[in-house]
Copies of this chain bind each other. A is one copy, B any other.
Amino acid sequence: MVTIVDVAQLAGVSTSTVSHVLNGTRNVEPATRGRVLDAIEKTGYRQDALARALRRSRTDSIGLVVSDAGEPAFAGMVHGVEQGAVDHDLTLVLANSAEDPAREMRAVRALLERRVDGLIIARCAESSPALTRYLDDAATPVVLLDRLADNSPFDQVGADNRESMRRLATHLHSSGHRRIAVLAGDTRVPTLRERLEGFFDAMPSEGLRDQAILEGHDDAELRSALIGHLRGGAYTCVIACSTPLAVTALESMRDAGLRVPEDLAFATYDGFTHSDLFSPTITTVRQPAFEMGTAAVKLLIDRSASPQSSPRTMRLRQTVELRTSTEEHRIQVG
């Protein structure tokens, strides 16, 4: 391997001069500079980021831990974080906790040992409290992504889940839906809890007991619960609070012989790509996943600039995309 020493020798200068040429950290006589550049060229020298990082105590890298790399929404965030990293000349170290708290802990540990300059984390559903303590102790700036906490000591960026659900549910209610089944999923996940809260916000309290709220993390249970509720024909609309839940809902409805939107209206969060090309097209609340990723990196950068400022929470606005699955003319007002 060719090191800075080789370059220095060939150029007939000291290693410190080479270093300063490399980094532009002090004035170097043009002639000297030229010789150094030549020597770099000739030797094919490449800076060693490891040694540099060790010496400078910064790696110019950030870590990202996502809870489910397989989900399109998280893939979008990964994409956004990568873009944010490139924009700030950082490299990205990626880990996937796969919704496993132990694996999440290992990932965070590994990233911290690699001395990432910042850590972005979409915590998993049953993230251990030990992780919180661990992060508190770490000197590294942390940004929470997507799954936010109240009173978080960290910066965080997510979506306006509660507000967007309020908009969606209000729209459905004003379209005449009086009995809605909400596939809320695992409400230990803040994102899903917030969406459910938004639904409660929107429903007039006297009508609340007519709604079916299906919570839980067991897919088979959710499925049978949903089918059970829909059998009687009492509900006119189903809302799924995430893409996996939408799959559960659509499959359940299909298995029960219920068509969207003829028999039931349907709306989902996150949804499916290119929904417009297929039938039925699905009313969807879309998360700005990519933008959440870039915003997370920005929060990290800002934090480094002012380490003492109080933690910020960013909520990016989601858009309710109305499509045929909730088309008004098909609703039977009860």
A residues lining the B interface (CB < 8 Å): 44, 46-51, 53-54, 59, 61, 69-70, 72, 75-76, 78-79, 82-83, 86, 91-96, 103, 109-115, 137, 247, 250-251, 254, 272-275, 277-280, 290
A315, chain B: closest CB distance, angstroms: 24
B277→A250 contact, CB < 8 A: yes
List chain B residues, Cβ under 8 A from A280: 278-279
Contact partner, A72, options B44, B75, B91, Cβ 8 Å: B75
Residues of B near A53 (CB, < 8 A) are 50
Enumerate the 4 nearest inter-chain pairs by beta-carbon distance, A residue then B residue, closest first: A278-B278, A75-B75, A49-B113, A69-B79
The answer on a CB contact under 8 Å between A114 and B95 is: no
| Interface residue from B96, B247, B273 paired with A277 (Cβ < 8 Å) | B247
Number of copies: 2
**A to B CB contacts below 8 Å, 5 in the list:** A46-B112, A86-B103, A250-B277, A275-B278, A278-B278
14 extra interface residue pairs, beta carbon distance < 8 Å, beyond A50-B114, A250-B277, A275-B278? A46-B109, A47-B113, A49-B113, A49-B114, A50-B115, A70-B76, A70-B290, A79-B96, A86-B103, A91-B93, A254-B277, A272-B277, A273-B273, A278-B279
Write the chain B residue with the least CB distance to A52.
B113
CA distance A115 to B49 in the complex (A): 8
Q: Is the CB of B94 within 8 A of A94?
A: yes
Nearest-neighbour CB distance to chain B for A312, whole angstroms, equals 26
User: Chain B residues with Cβ under 8 A from A111's Cβ?
Assistant: 91
Q: Which of B47, B54, B86 contacts A96 (CB 8 A)?
A: B86
Q: Please name all residues of chain B whose beta carbon is closer than 8 Å to the beta carbon of A92 when the two chains form the complex.
A: 93-95
Considering only CB atoms, which chain B residue lies closest to A75 in the complex?
B75
Docked CA distance A50–B50 (Å): 6
In the complex, the answer to whether B137 meets A44 with C-beta atoms within 8 Å is yes
Q: Is the CB–CB distance between A274 and B277 below 8 Å?
A: no
In whole angstroms, how far apart are the Cα atoms of A290 and B70 in the complex? 9
Give Cα A273–Cα B113 distance, bound, in whole angstroms.
Answer: 37
